[in-house]
Amino acid sequence: MDLTDDLTATHYSPVLITTPQPFIPEETLNDLDVQKESDRLVLQQYAHSSAMSQPQTLASQTFTSQTFTSQTLASQTLANQEITRLQQELKTTKNHLQSIIEEQQATNQDLRAANEEILSSNEELQSMNEALETAKEEIQSANEELSTMNDELHRRNVESTQISNDLQNLLDSINIPILMLGSDLRIRRFTPAIERLFNLMASDVGRSLSSVTHKLNVSDLEHQILEVIRTLNLTAQEIQDQEGHWYDLRIRPYRTIDNKIDGAVVVLVDIDDLKCSAERVRAAREYAEAIVATLPTPLLVLNLELHVITANPAFYETFQMPPTETEQRFIFDLGNGQWNIPQLRSLLAEILHGNAQFQGLEVEHNFELIGHKTMLLSGRKMPAIGHMQMILLAIEDITEQKRLERERN
């Protein structure tokens, strides 16, 4: 019988030997030393029980005990090494897990912070969305207002265009030289009638008046315009152009619709025909006055209201009346009413109503300054000079002739 058979034949108590597990839970690692102590007590208990039940020889027990002890020590050494390795791995795993846990906690904190930021951002976005919605409503309202304003502006533009067209057609149709200037004396508008006088073209709108040459005999035109803008007083004067044509130059302030002064308007009214007519009237009057003045017979020139326009020197000398008491006076008021003769009134009234003349009205009257006289009156309506109608009244003193006739008879 070999040692193996001997060991087999010998009845030993079972021995509990713990072997390492591939993975030891975290909660049992702290009790590892207690487990080892428990295994050792169990082993001793079984050994003691076997010794009590079957008596063995001392040598056999000693050998078996030594063999078992060697095997146990070897197994224990391997187990201890394995436990140490597992403990080291466990420690490493715990450290790794702790690191992962800490990283996870840090990540969770970061995620919580990020989540809070996201929530805050969501709130801000919600607030922004509400603000955008409000802004959208305001923009829609503004768009509606702008649309209304655009419609109004379009209507006003149409009206402005129509007014501009009307004004342009009006200016083109008026045969009056008109020049509109701004406060800076820049040309705004003008009529075709003024183009020749100021050498203007359509492209001259916007030019300064100082850069334009005109044909008017006015040296201080710009100064006059500036004075009108400053004082707001209208000015008017009769001027001639370089060709001798007469104009009535009128300068008035340019007023806006809200009564603000924004420039000046220069108007040139053609008065050449009127001026020529007045000159002809003046010449004719001077001619008539010269003729009347040279006649020895007293003469009175009356208007249709029977007021004295003038008298010749013979009248003033004969009746001893100064011009101041004669001219512009009603004929029947002259000399304290000495000409208020009913027959003369009747004849002058007939002239006014169509009869061209009367002759040979003999009047005896006691005149205030020259005494009793016999006068022979003749009157006629003179040809009109311009728009002026006149009556010529001739007064011939026949007092001496009447005296001689009475003496012969």
Tally the C-alpha atoms within 13 A of residue 85's C-alpha that lie toward its C-beta.
9
Band (351; pLDDT cuts 50, 70, 90):
confident
For residue 190, report the phi and psi dihedrals to the nearest 5 degrees.
-160, 155
Q: What radius of gyration, in Å, describes the C-alpha atoms of the chain?
A: 72
Reported confidence tier of residue 187, pLDDT bands at 50, 70, 90: very high
The CATH H-level superfamily of 174-270 is PAS domain (3.30.450.20)
CA distance 383 to 392: 10
pLDDT band at 40 (very low <50, low <70, confident <90, very high): low
- Mean pLDDT score, 178-191: 92
* Span 60-111, pLDDT tens digits: 455 555 665 777 788 888 888 888 888 898 899 889 898 999 888 988 898 8
Residue 322 falls in which region: left (phi positive, over 0), alpha (psi -120 to 50) or beta: beta
- Inter-CA distances, 369 with 297, 322, 361, Å: 18, 12, 22
Q: How far is CA 209 from CA 180, 228, 230, in A?
A: 10, 15, 17
Question: Is residue 220 classed as helix, strand or coil in its secondary structure?
Answer: coil
C-alpha–C-alpha distance, residues 228 and 212, integer Å: 20
The span from the first CA to the last CA of the chain, in angstroms, equals 234
Which pLDDT score is estimated for 22? 42
Confidence of residue 241 (pLDDT cuts 50, 70, 90): very high
Rounded Cα gap, residues 362 and 350, in angstroms: 17
Q: How confident is the prediction for the chain on average, in pLDDT?
A: 80
The H-or-E segment that residue 107 falls in is helix 58-173
As a whole number of angstroms, the distance between CA 355 and CA 347 comes to 9
Q: What is the pLDDT of residue 144?
A: 92
pLDDT at 270: 92
Of 61-70, 108-117, 255-264, give the lowest mean pLDDT range.
61-70
Q: Which tokens go with 171?
A: 């200016």
- 390 or 136, higher pLDDT: 136
Paired tokens of 339: 């000409």
Query: How much is the pLDDT for 300?
Result: 87
Contact 280, 201 (CB under 8 A): no
Q: What is the pTM of this model?
A: 0.47
Q: Are 298 and 313 in contact (CB under 8 A)?
A: no
Q: Does residue 31 have a pLDDT over 60?
A: no
Cβ neighbours for 68, distance < 8 A, ≥ 6 positions apart: 12, 15
Residue 275 vs residues 279, 282, 288: alpha-carbon distances, Å: 6, 10, 19
User: Which pLDDT does position 262 carry in this prediction?
Assistant: 92
- Find the mean pLDDT for residues 161-170: 86
CATH fold label, 276-408: Beta-Lactamase (3.30.450)
Q: Which two tokens stand for residue 396?
A: 């011939």
Q: Give per-residue pLDDT as tens, 279-312.
A: 887 887 788 778 878 888 898 888 888 898 888 8
H or E element: which one contains 239? strand 235-240
pLDDT attached to residue 284: 77
Q: Indicate if 276-408 has the same CATH topology as 174-270.
A: yes
Given a cut of 80, whether residue 277 has pLDDT beyond it is: yes
**Higher per-residue confidence, 378 vs 385:** 378
| Token pair recorded at residue 128 | 């922004």
Confidence (pLDDT) at 142: 92
pLDDT of residue 67: 62
What are the structural domain ranges in the chain?
10-116, 174-270, 276-408
3-state secondary structure at position 95: helix
pLDDT of residue 288: 74
List beta partners, residue 241. 216
